């Protein structure tokens, strides 16, 4: 394989890896582990071969003499940055966590939410901001066309049961008792 082919293959597989990594934080895909494995093997093979080849053959210390090494380092930093950004987002302290038949809502203490919706193999992730006032949560920009959840939720007890998160009707401010989320974690100061 000549140098230009190695550069193209490393760039293509690294950028495709970054794209699939980004998409894995937007929706679950049952086959993503195979994509990651295949692209990782190709990228690692070319990157390490390129490093050793460039070290053996180059006597010049110029950065232009090490394109595969520089591209590989850039791709490692890119993928580490994507992973770090979303892992920090996912692991922030939780204020309220609730679930309802395949929909999981995680309202973070910093005013952001993460809602996962769908079956175990094909969940979609929705990210955004919310405001809470007393026991009413208002969600900023939820794509409710793809999910059965309204933008306004109410926290309350119903029939002396556990604390629940109830949806409200979109047009009228009516509480929909049959569409509730069971609150699994509540870290609000009462």
State yes or no: pLDDT of 130 exceeds 80: yes
Let me know the angle formed at the C-alpha of 154 by 97 and 93, rounded to the nearest 5 degrees: 25
Structure tokens at 138: 């208002």
Q: CA-to-CA distance for 123 and 91, rounded, in angstroms?
A: 18
Q: Which fold has domain 94-186?
A: Lipocalin (2.40.128)
State yes or no: pLDDT of 137 exceeds 90: no
Mean pLDDT of 138-157: 70
Structure tokens at 186: 């509540």
- pLDDT for 41-71, tens place per residue? 988 888 888 877 777 776 677 767 778 888 8
Which ranges of the chain does DSSP label H, i.e. alpha helix? Answer: 3-24, 32-57, 67-90
Q: What is the pTM of this model?
A: 0.77
**pLDDT number for residue 59:** 65
- List the chain domain ranges: 3-90, 94-186
**pLDDT number for residue 43:** 86
Name which residue leads in pLDDT, 1 or 10: 10
Percent of the chain clearing pLDDT 70 (strictly above):
84
Q: Confidence class of residue 174 from pLDDT cuts 50, 70 and 90?
A: low
Mean pLDDT (the chain, rounded): 82
**pLDDT number for residue 86:** 93
């Amino acid at each position: 394989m000549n140098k230009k082919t190695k550069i193209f293959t490393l760039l293509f597989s690294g950028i495709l890896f970054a794209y699939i990594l980004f998409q894995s934080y937007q929706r679950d895909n049952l086959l993503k582990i195979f994509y990651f494995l295949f692209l990782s093997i190709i990228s690692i093979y070319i990157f390490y071969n390129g490093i050793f080849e460039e070290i053996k053959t180059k006597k010049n210390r110029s950065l232009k003499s090490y394109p595969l090494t520089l591209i590989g380092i850039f791709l490692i930093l890119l993928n580490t940055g994507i992973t770090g950004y979303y892992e920090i987002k996912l692991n922030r302290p939780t204020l309220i966590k609730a679930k309802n038949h395949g929909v999981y809502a995680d309202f973070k203490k910093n005013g952001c939410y993460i809602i996962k919706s769908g079956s175990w193999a094909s969940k979609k992730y929705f990210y955004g901001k919310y405001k809470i006032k007393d026991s009413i949560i208002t969600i900023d920009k939820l794509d409710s066309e793809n999910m059965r959840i309204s933008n306004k939720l109410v926290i309350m007890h119903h029939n002396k049961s556990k604390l629940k998160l109830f949806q409200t009707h979109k047009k009228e401010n009516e509480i929909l008792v049959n569409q509730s989320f069971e609150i699994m974690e509540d870290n609000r100061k009462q």
